[in-house]
């Protein structure tokens, strides 16, 4: 256990020294594995065992069919972006909500939720919606705090509302059903949207000048806007409906695996973007190139995490934690609270994927040994990770937004997102105290035999 804790501390130190997380986890994992096998990090026996483990891990990851779902969902999100669906989603949300006080910020949150349902990336959601929503909010003289906060917070929904790349990686790491994780994220995702809308209303109630009313749209305009997003609704229903078994009736009997659903989604997004004139030969090549770069980066981090996980498991840290909890008879709920506290602290330093990959191999065996559902724990981890995207000092969504907007300080954005991460804490408490919110849909899915 001592060696594992030293290894964990070394990873933290190396990351704080700006070494990329993939190299930090890979290096510490390799040397730690050599130490456990040979008694010294420089022993020939230990180094041979470590090199063999690293080579096997790289080969196994490259040949893992389950991982093919990652580039397909990335490809789907990029094609969706090229199809201009973000602007149409925003137009619909604005038509229904824009005339309220703070309504354009509320429309931004709702559009972020819709875009997340077909994108799966928080950073992409924040970057895309900032280009769509920020000019409109500035036209109505919204405060910079509320404008940027609604985009940054709304963007966090991308890693929870299915399809979510983070949930895919969690499912692969823990051998948990990806389909059930996806449907488990629906209710917490919708709850997140509702609480963010309440955060907007709270902000406007405290300072009415921060979010003036926009134009009121007639029902004709609302219905016209709704018709423009049929493709989004169809694509979401195709992907999630196929996973859930919505098409499993005679004579269709169609139920998709996660990879099949991702493939159908990518093809559907490609056809939508093509039909709307959003694709040229050069832009298609750019989409494919960006998909390759992003997937390669994710695979590299995943390999580093698995190497580190092999060392942690060999050193016996998960078993030691279970033994400590058993020996001191700590209440399971207290352990969960401690884990959540660690996640919130780490979220101030780590970005979301790194935090997930570094901690899940350690905490997952402990949580499941106490009888908690792995699907519930996956959603809890992702919600905590969402909080880290908008909390200082790292808050990746904040820095992405700062890079896109340019003329708003990070301090202004962090100040604006405060009501939103408070809403996230409230949602996290609900999910922890009422697991039914997470498990009701997966249990129904299991009852149907999918």
8 Å CB contact between 28 and 12: no
**Residue 298 has what pLDDT?**
83
Within 10 A of 322 (CB to CB), how many other CB atoms are there?
17
**Residue 371 has what pLDDT?**
92
What is the distance between the alpha carbons of residues 230 and 237, in angstroms, rounded to a whole number? Answer: 11
Q: What are phi and psi of 331, to 5 degrees?
A: -60, 135
8 Å CB contact between 167 and 181: yes
**Residue 249 has what pLDDT?**
52
Nearest to 267 by CA among 229, 234, 225: 234
b/e burial code for range 188-201 (CB count within 10 A of at least 16 → b): bbebbbebbbebbb
- 329 φψ region: left (φ > 0), alpha (ψ -120 to 50), beta (else): left
450 residues of the chain, pLDDT tens digit each: 788 888 888 988 888 788 888 899 999 999 999 999 888 877 888 889 999 999 999 998 888 877 888 888 888 888 877 777 778 888 888 888 888 889 999 999 998 888 877 776 777 788 888 888 888 888 888 999 999 999 999 888 888 888 788 888 899 889 898 888 988 999 999 999 999 999 999 999 999 889 888 888 887 888 887 777 777 778 777 787 777 665 555 555 567 778 888 888 889 889 888 887 778 888 899 999 988 988 888 888 889 888 988 998 888 888 888 888 888 888 999 999 999 988 888 877 777 777 888 888 889 999 999 999 999 999 999 999 888 888 877 777 888 888 878 788 888 999 999 999 999 999 999 999 999 999 998 887 654 444
8 Å CB contact between 420 and 106: no
* Distant-in-sequence, close-in-space partners of 178: CB < 8 Å, separation ≥ 6: 69, 167, 168, 171, 172, 243, 258
The helices-and-strands tally (H runs, E runs) of the chain is 23, 0
**Residue 252 has what pLDDT?**
55
- How far is C-alpha 419 from the chain's CA centre? 20
Length of the chain: 450
**Residue 161 has what pLDDT?**
84
Mapping DSSP to helix (H, G, I), strand (E, B) and coil, where does residue 323 land? helix
């Amino acid at each position: 256990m001592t060696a594992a804790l030293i290894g964990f501390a070394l990873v933290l130190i190396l990351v704080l020294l700006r070494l990329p997380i993939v190299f930090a986890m890979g290096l510490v994992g390799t040397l730690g594995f050599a130490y456990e096998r040979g008694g010294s990090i420089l022993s020939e026996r230990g180094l041979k065992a470590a090199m063999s483990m690293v080579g096997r891990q790289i080969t196994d990851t490259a040949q893992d069919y389950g991982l093919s779902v990652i580039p397909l969902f990335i490809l789907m999100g990029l094609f969706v972006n090229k199809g201009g669906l973000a602007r149409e989603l925003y137009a619909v949300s604005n038509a229904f909500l824009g005339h309220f006080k703070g309504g354009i910020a509320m429309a931004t949150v709702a559009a972020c939720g819709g875009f997340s349902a077909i994108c799966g990336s928080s950073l992409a959601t924040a970057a895309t919606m900032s280009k769509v929503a920020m000019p409109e909010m500035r036209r109505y003289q919204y405060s910079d705090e509320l404008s940027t906060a609604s985009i940054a917070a709304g963007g966090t929904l991308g890693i929870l509302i299915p399809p979510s790349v983070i949930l895919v990686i969690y499912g692969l790491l823990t051998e948990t059903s990806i389909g059930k994780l996806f449907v488990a994220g629906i209710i917490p995702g919708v709850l997140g949207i509702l609480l963010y809308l309440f955060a907007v209303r709270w902000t406007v109630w405290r300072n009415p000048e921060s979010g003036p009313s926009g134009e009121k749209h007639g029902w004709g305009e609302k219905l016209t806007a709704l018709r423009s997003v049929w493709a989004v609704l169809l694509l979401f229903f195709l992907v999630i409906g196929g996973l859930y078994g919505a098409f499993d009736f005679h004579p269709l009997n169609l139920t998709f695996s996660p990879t099949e659903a991702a493939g159908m989604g990518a093809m559907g997004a490609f056809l939508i973007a093509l039909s709307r004139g959003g694709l040229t030969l050069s832009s298609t090549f750019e989409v494919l190139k960006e998909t390759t770069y992003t997937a390669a980066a994710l695979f590299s981090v995943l390999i580093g995490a698995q190497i580190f996980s092999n060392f942690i498991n060999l050193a016996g840290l998960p078993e030691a934690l279970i033994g400590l909890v058993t020996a001191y008879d700590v209440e399971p709920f207290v352990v969960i609270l401690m884990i959540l506290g660690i996640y919130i602290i780490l979220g101030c330093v780590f970005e979301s994927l790194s935090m997930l990959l570094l901690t899940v191999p350690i905490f997952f065996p402990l949580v499941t040994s106490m009888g908690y559902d792995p699907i519930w724990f996956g959603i809890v981890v992702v919600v905590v990770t969402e909080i880290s995207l908008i909390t200082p000092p790292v808050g990746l969504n904040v820095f992405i937004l700062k890079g896109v907007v340019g003329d708003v300080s990070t301090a202004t954005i962090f100040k604006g997102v405060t009501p939103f991460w408070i809403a996230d804490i409230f949602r996290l408490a609900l999910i922890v105290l009422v697991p039914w919110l997470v498990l009701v849909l997966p249990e129904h899915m299991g009852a149907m035999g999918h």
